[in-house]
Structure 1
Amino acid sequence: MIRLENVTKTYCGRPALVGISTVVEKGEFVFLTGPSGAGKSTLLRLLYRAEVPDQGRVVVAGQDLTTLNRREVAELRRRMGVVFQDFKLLRRRTVGENITFVLDLLGLPEREQQRRAYHALRQVGLQHRLSALPEELSGGEQQRVAVARALVVQPELILADEPTGNLDPERSHELMGFFREANYRGTTVVVATHDVSLIAAHPARTLVLERGRLVQDRWGPP
């Protein structure tokens, strides 16, 4: 599903990623961890083609992302669910509209959009907030809406950047359960987190970054 070949990315001459090579097979669940500034978010941005590497290749679902045109990037993203660290909810749209917006891009009938949106919000315990605006939600509720938006497209790949950062421990473990369920259904999941306790409670393959370098590829916490 994912192949990185000697990937390097710099910003203003400072390395964010250095010589990263690894493979994530279809259907794997992988944690990406390391201290703040280690390169976790940069790596995820490369995977959904918000950035391109300065050197090396990033291959997702058999496609070299450095060679895709704008239309091909859009088509690839429709097969992904991305949970951003800053949520990226549409502020002037309701919770329900934030969910159905991505389904409308897929061309689904309105009735199916509404059914899927309600089901996704019920999964994260927010079906009663369907008509609320994002500003009316707590940070934790906005995070759960972002997760529902990622799950609702039934993606082949989920990328999550610090998805539990605004949640209490109980909600964090509940959220990981949603990702696990998607993974059991065959979705490849990559979760970036610095929360070692979360990895300990949900052991999986773990890629450890330090100063932009991949220093460990292990199972579970240290």
Structure 2
Amino acid sequence: MSEDYYLSIRELFSENILRNLILFFMLFIFTIAQDWNNILLLLFPLIIFSFSIIFEIINDNKWRIQLKDNLIIYNPLGSEKTHANRFFFSALLLLILVFWIGAESYYHPQLIDNFRVYFMIIYIFIYTFTFFWIFIDIWNYCHVIVNLKNKNSNLEEQGTKFKKFTHLLNVKYIKLISLLSLIVFLILNILNLLFTFLTFNSDIPGLEFNLPGTG
């Protein structure tokens, strides 16, 4: 009779995860110390960083549910380590941008109005590009591994044909999904450009946020 197995906190959080948590939240604390009264901009890096931690946990503990001599290994999420690293990089980049514009609002408040529009365009572009980047790679790295080493020759021959067949299917769907992802990514950023310029240059209401140095 099988028994349930639960991971301890120590097993769940590896050294890499703890390092990323410490690095991210140190920068996060430095950022909120600028006296932000609206956390809207800070939500974007927090969301991306949460995905980074989830993928890192999956990557570090995936081996626990795999058998030693698995004939078929399925990776539905692709390379979790790659996704975790890219999410973490984007989260840090967004947080650095927020920290930078917060500091600029203190030291050069007269210049904020000149490049706040461009900041928002770049900020949303990085956020949306991160998910586009991940979705593309999920399909590139998502695959079925048929392990036929040390098996009989008939299985090896059938396995070779199966690999060729699944490869052709992957190429077909990867092209389609990549195209759809690119279209969605472009539409979102075009809409972002339009709404940003309309919000800052007309009376159209938008999401308001006050920078620390401008009140």
- Identify the TM-score tier after normalising by the shorter chain: under 0.3
TM-score (norm 1): 0.21
TM-score (norm 2): 0.21
Query: Going by fraction, where is strand more abundant, 1 or 2?
Result: 1
Query: Going by fraction, where is helix more abundant, 1 or 2?
Result: 2
